[in-house]
Structure 1
Amino acid sequence: MQLLDIGTYFTSVQGTEPPVGSTLDDDALRALYAYPADLDRPWIRTNFVASIDGSVTANGKSAGLGTPADSQLFGILRELCDAVLVGAGTARAENYGGVALSTESTARRVASGLAPIPTIVVVTASGSIEADSRLLTDTEVKPVVVTSSAADGAKLAALRAAGATVIEVSGESVSTTDIVDSLAELGLLRILCEGGPGLFGQLVSDGAADDLCLTISPILVSGEAGRIAHAASAADTSMHRAHVLGDADGTLLTRWVRRT
């Protein structure tokens, strides 16, 4: 990948940025995507891929838009986070299991003070995660499920029996405050949200989306596929352009950080 543009640098020491036009190895990518130092609250980064014409899926799944550069960055972003935050609908549609990292990635995490493997945190007001899903059966670290007091008690009991940490919040929905407070209480500050659009839209509406990593896949999709964020009403959020990367196949990888 090549650095095409860099704006104000947010997460590293000023003056250490690679020059525009340089080719980036994995270490350079880790530096570009490092979380802010000395966090005192959860920093929520969201990662999405979209087509040139704004589709969030191809043939019904985001994986249909994937490119080698997007896959490479996907792994690096997971390596850098404390937790992967995801809505239950996306977890089901994409058949989520636990985060799988290489031995080298795990060693780098431990050396930098992180847990060996990030935790998957699933948001579901109804508790609609099956206890025999890959989230619980194909993982080294059992997931956290943030749900509401209106969720089916039998489903929650089954999730607990399967090893999940279940956090019930009051009311019939899970608010952004509930999500952020639950992450903070668990000591999970470097957050990577992988969608879906409803969860991202909620975070945008509530001013909790700190950082967006958006890959633009070099294809046109058309059809009726949705966009990366959905919400009941619009919420204008000004963002700084942090950088733009390009791959030889036409993939663009952009990073945007919320203005504060």
Structure 2
Amino acid sequence: MEPRIIIGQQELTDDELIQLYQGPGTGPWVRANFVQSVDGAVAVGETSSGLTTPLDQQVLKLLRLLSDVVLVGASTIRVEDYIGVRFSPAGVARRRAWGMADVPPIAVVSGRADLDPDSRLLTNTLVPPIILTSTSASAAAKANLKAAGATVLELGDTSIESGAIIEALANLGLHQIICEGGPTLAGQLAADHILDELCLTTVPTILGGPAGRVTHGRLASLPVRCKHIIVDQDGAQIARWIVDPDRISSR
């Protein structure tokens, strides 16, 4: 099927975006969402805030609206200074109508549980985060996060496998997953053939420099097909890439 190409839309309504991004409804379904420059840089300095556009932000909020959980690596949590997810009353009403919780929790992958219990992730949120860590992480760090309200799950001795992440979230009833980075976590999900979809905004800027790419780590070799491309009036291209399981030898 040829991708749907939408050109010159200054503003897409939430209903139009929902039609474009609605997931399969059964899970698990794992999306990653990134913004990059034309030459593949995913950050200006240390954060992505210098790359994002109004429509990119609209899509980000919609993907969260459609998700049971927001999955993020610990480094991204610290650099981007995450807070808990919030929606407008209309957004909450939509989720209730879909049979979903009012807001999704943030699940953080941190093998060492090295997160600040006084950070905004834990102090500025409507629902407590889920910390996915290891048995070898500091017992004191895990205890401090639990005391701050987090749910702490130990998924491995020293490392956290992709399959264990998805299984742990599914056991909590969290099947629709949006991964917001960073590149190491997204690269791990892709390399392990856990990733189902990549939502990618490309902004009309060439940055150069040392900035990283969307995925980092082991070779993934994950074939995808384009579902749609939105070409915004500001020149940004917002694409939805779906993994093509028929072209993967094993999963």
The answer to whether structure 1 residue 212 and structure 2 residue 208 are counterparts is no
Cα deviation, 1:59-80, whole Å, max 9, x if unaligned, reads 2211110111111111111111
Aligned counterpart, 1:94: 80
Paired residues, number: 243
User: Superposed, which structure 2 residues align to 1:171-190 within 5 Å?
Assistant: 171-190=157-176
Which ranges of structure 1 fall in alignment gaps of 5 or more residues?
9-18
The answer to whether structure 1 residue 7 and structure 2 residue 25 are counterparts is no
| AA partner of residue 76 (structure 2) | T
CA-atom RMSD in angstroms: 1.6
Query: Is the contact between residue 49 and residue 216 of structure 1 (CA under 8 Å) also seen in structure 2?
Result: yes
2 CA distance for matches of 1:112 and 1:171?
A: 37
Query: Is the contact between residue 238 and residue 259 of structure 1 (CA under 8 Å) also seen in structure 2?
Result: yes
2 CA distance for matches of 1:46 and 1:20?
A: 21
Aligned counterpart, 1:14: none
Aligned counterpart, 1:236: 221
Query: Is the contact between residue 47 and residue 80 of structure 2 (CA under 8 Å) also seen in structure 1?
Result: yes
Offset, 1:212: 0.3
2 CA distance for matches of 1:133 and 1:42?
A: 29
Residue 49 of structure 2 aligns to a residue whose secondary structure is: helix
2 CA distance for matches of 1:168 and 1:91?
A: 19
User: Superposed, which structure 2 residues align to 1:98-247 within 5 Å?
Assistant: 98-231=84-217, 233-247=218-232
Aligned counterpart, 1:27: 15
| AA partner of residue 225 (structure 2) | H
Query: Is the contact between residue 6 and residue 20 of structure 1 (CA under 8 Å) also seen in structure 2?
Result: no
Offset, 1:25: 2.2
Which ranges of structure 2 fall in alignment gaps of 5 or more residues?
246-251
Cα deviation, 1:189-229, whole Å, max 9, x if unaligned, reads 01000000000010011000100000001111111101011
| AA partner of residue 86 (structure 1) | V
Q: Which consecutive segments of 4 or more residues in structure 1 shift more than 4 A?
A: 19-23
| AA partner of residue 59 (structure 2) | L
Change beyond 3 A, Cα 1:223–1:169: same
Residue 254 of structure 1 aligns to a residue whose secondary structure is: strand
Offset, 1:130: 1.0
Change beyond 3 A, Cα 1:157–1:128: same
Offset, 1:21: 5.4
2 CA distance for matches of 1:79 and 1:253?
A: 18
1 CA distance for matches of 2:3 and 2:82?
A: 34
Offset, 1:20: 5.3
Query: Is the contact between residue 7 and residue 232 of structure 2 (CA under 8 Å) also seen in structure 1?
Result: no
